[in-house]
Amino acid sequence: MKVAVIGAGLAGSEVAYKIAQAGYKVDLYEMRPEKQTPAHKTPYFAEIVCSNSFGSESLTSGAGLLKKEMEILGSIILDVAKEFKVPAGQAFAVDREKFSKRLTEILENHPNINVIRQEVKTLPDADIIVIATGPLTSEEFSKEIQKITGSEYLYFYDAIAPVVDASTVDFSKGFWADRYGKGTGDYFNCVLSKQEYEIFYQELLKGEQVPLKDFERAVYFEGCLPIEEIARRGKETLLYGPMKPVGLIDPKTGKRPYAVVQLRKENIEGTLLSLVGFQTKLKYPEQKRIFSLIPALKDAEFVKLGSIHRNTFIQSQKLLKPTLQLREKPNILFAGQITGVEGYMASAATGIIAGINVVRMLEGKEPVIPPKTTMIGGLINYITTAKNELQPMGPNYALLPELEEKIKGKEERKLKKAEIALKDIKEWIKEIESAVFI
Ligand SMILES: Cc1cc2nc3c(=O)[nH]c(=O)nc-3n(C[C@H](O)[C@H](O)[C@H](O)COP(=O)(O)OP(=O)(O)OC[C@H]3O[C@@H](n4cnc5c(N)ncnc54)[C@H](O)[C@@H]3O)c2cc1C
């Protein structure tokens, strides 16, 4: 059977390596250097386009647990990165140039990997195809993906609102209700008095923003204005926009609040809540400072901060099975940031799972799904079952199921979840008897 992987980024490199190491031939397509993306600069595979950090190594961070799971699953990205690690405190940082160069040598010299340096515009002739073309998928190929998925399910920008861990919200400072009582009670309304609103508004105006990159400027014409831009249009504008209180009565006072910030469930479990309409370009520390002025969010843990980026990604909750296969065409798989995960490590991790499943398909076995109790399983569960529109997501502990036993202390709870995740990922590997782990 002929196998093609499109895109030799963080995800595509993992996919191709898993397939090749299991003894199967694979064509790996990469358009660089013939055609660059607006962010990549080199001809190397898995180029690190921005920060050279792979995130925290601490087990109490989602990124730390994800890396431990990836080590257990056998990650070529992490193996090579370890050779070129640079000191960065708790973070795992790499010498980006040496890392990517070495990885490229390994893949290019692998007897089972046939590297094809060309832009893919239409699906290549192969029995199994993995699409891993990333957040900056070429324009031509995006059109082809739209044909496969339906144009309404491929997004070109993410306008992300911050997401908080529901267990850290002060629910005494607001109430659950849908506007005009219509809906399914999925909104929590954080209440602000006139004075609280005015302080919040002033700080929002002062907040420092991240500058937009040239290739990102078009986004503002697409109707997803950052919250601070709405605020700049006048003191009352937010009260007619995302902070409007119409159709809402606070059961404590029997009156309409002065202003509200609505929190909406992001996953079926309701452990993640997003700030509705709060997409923003504020710098991360500024977001934490300013959004913590909302009384219900005073001590909230932000598992994700807001951003507006150029980002090509599919609505996986509508399109993908949790095996990363397309529901309608299971011989096509997606991996990497294009699935709606976010960041270097989450992208590479989905590449490992896609690689495992391609090998399973080649072995004539059923593709598999990692346990939801693991960080990689939690991420895949999120992207394939998200409520509403899919907002890209990186690793965090709110993706994992609540513990059955009561444990005091946030850090202690995370460590218990990590213990379960690492036990479950090891057991899962034992269950999957496959050449991929030989
Ligand atoms: C400007 C910017 C800054 C970022 N900063 C960070 C950060 O600081 N930290 C972080 O964790 N993440 C960051 N990210 C996200 C990170 O880059 C991605 O999470 C990660 O690279 C995704 O891996 P991937 O394999 O899905 O895609 P990529 O690594 O982008 O790989 C996709 C590959 O496909 C190739 N390709 C695209 N189209 C075609 C085609 N038609 N034919 C053949 N090849 C094709 C590309 O050249 C590329 O090599 C940033 C992204 C951008 C755009």
- pLDDT tens for 163-211 read 999 999 999 999 999 988 887 778 999 999 999 999 999 999 999 988 8
* Model pLDDT, residue 220: 56
Q: Is 23 annotated as a binding residue?
A: no
- Residues 203 and 282 placed together within one structural domain of the fold: yes
- Residues 351 and 422 placed together within one structural domain of the fold: yes
Kindly give, in sequence order, each residue whose CB lies less than 8 Å from that of residue 414, ignoring residues fewer than 6 positions away: 59, 60, 397
- In 47-121, where does DSSP find H-type helix? 62-73, 76-83, 96-108
Domains held by the chain: number: 2
Whether 395 is in the pocket of ligand 1, judged by its Cβ within 6 Å, is: no
- Residues 62 and 109 placed together within one structural domain of the fold: yes
- Residues 284 and 376 placed together within one structural domain of the fold: no
**pLDDT, tens digit (0-9, with 9 covering 90-100), for 263-300:** 998 888 889 999 999 999 999 999 999 999 999 999 99
Whether 39 is in the pocket of ligand 1, judged by its Cβ within 6 Å, is: yes
- Residues 21 and 152 placed together within one structural domain of the fold: yes
- Residues 225 and 245 placed together within one structural domain of the fold: yes
- Residues 21 and 133 placed together within one structural domain of the fold: yes
To test the pocket of ligand 1, the residue of 133, 141, 305 to mutate (highest count of ligand atoms within 8 Å of its CB) is 133
Query: What CATH number is given to the structural domain containing 34?
Result: 3.50.50.60
Q: How far is the CA of 394 from the centre of ligand 1 (A)?
A: 14
- Residues 21 and 92 placed together within one structural domain of the fold: yes
- Residues 10 and 143 placed together within one structural domain of the fold: yes
In the structure encoding, which two tokens stand for residue 85, read together? 């690690």
Q: Which of 23-37, 225-239, 327-341 has the lowest mean pLDDT?
A: 225-239
Q: How confident is the model at residue 221 (pLDDT cuts 50, 70, 90)?
A: very low
- Residues 194 and 236 placed together within one structural domain of the fold: yes
* CA dist., res. 107 & res. 114, Å (int): 9
Whether 354 is in the pocket of ligand 1, judged by its Cβ within 6 Å, is: no
- Residues 132 and 179 placed together within one structural domain of the fold: no
Q: How far is the CA of 391 from the centre of ligand 1 (A)?
A: 17
Starting at the edge strand that comes first in sequence, how are the strands of the sheet with 26-29 ordered? 113-116, 26-29, 3-6, 128-131, 332-334
The residue among 272, 305, 338 that closes a domain is: 305
Query: Residue 142: which region, alpha, beta or left (left: phi > 0; alpha: psi -120 to 50)?
Result: alpha
Residue nearest atom 3 of ligand 1, based on CA coordinates: 50
Q: How far is the CA of 135 from the centre of ligand 1 (A)?
A: 5
Q: How confident is the model at residue 435 (pLDDT cuts 50, 70, 90)?
A: low
Q: Which domain holds residue 21?
A: 3-159+310-437
**Nearest CA-CA partner of 144 in 344, 342, 346, 329:** 329
Place of tokens 């490992």: 352
Q: Is 11 annotated as a binding residue?
A: yes
Q: Which helix H or strand E contains 251, and what residues bound it?
A: none
Handedness of CA 215, 219, 220, 222 (dihedral sign): positive
The residue among 259, 283, 305 that closes a domain is: 305
- The residues that bridge with 53 in the sheet, in sequence order, are 93
Q: How far is the CA of 269 from the centre of ligand 1 (A)?
A: 30
Whether 138 is in the pocket of ligand 1, judged by its Cβ within 6 Å, is: yes
Q: How far is the CA of 265 from the centre of ligand 1 (A)?
A: 28
**Nearest CA-CA partner of 77 in 332, 338, 350:** 350
Whether 144 is in the pocket of ligand 1, judged by its Cβ within 6 Å, is: no
Whether 344 is in the pocket of ligand 1, judged by its Cβ within 6 Å, is: yes
- Residues 98 and 10 placed together within one structural domain of the fold: yes
The residue among 287, 305, 323 that closes a domain is: 305
- The residues that bridge with 163 in the sheet, in sequence order, are 274, 304
* CA dist., res. 92 & res. 48, Å (int): 13
Query: What CATH number is given to the structural domain containing 249?
Result: 2.40.30
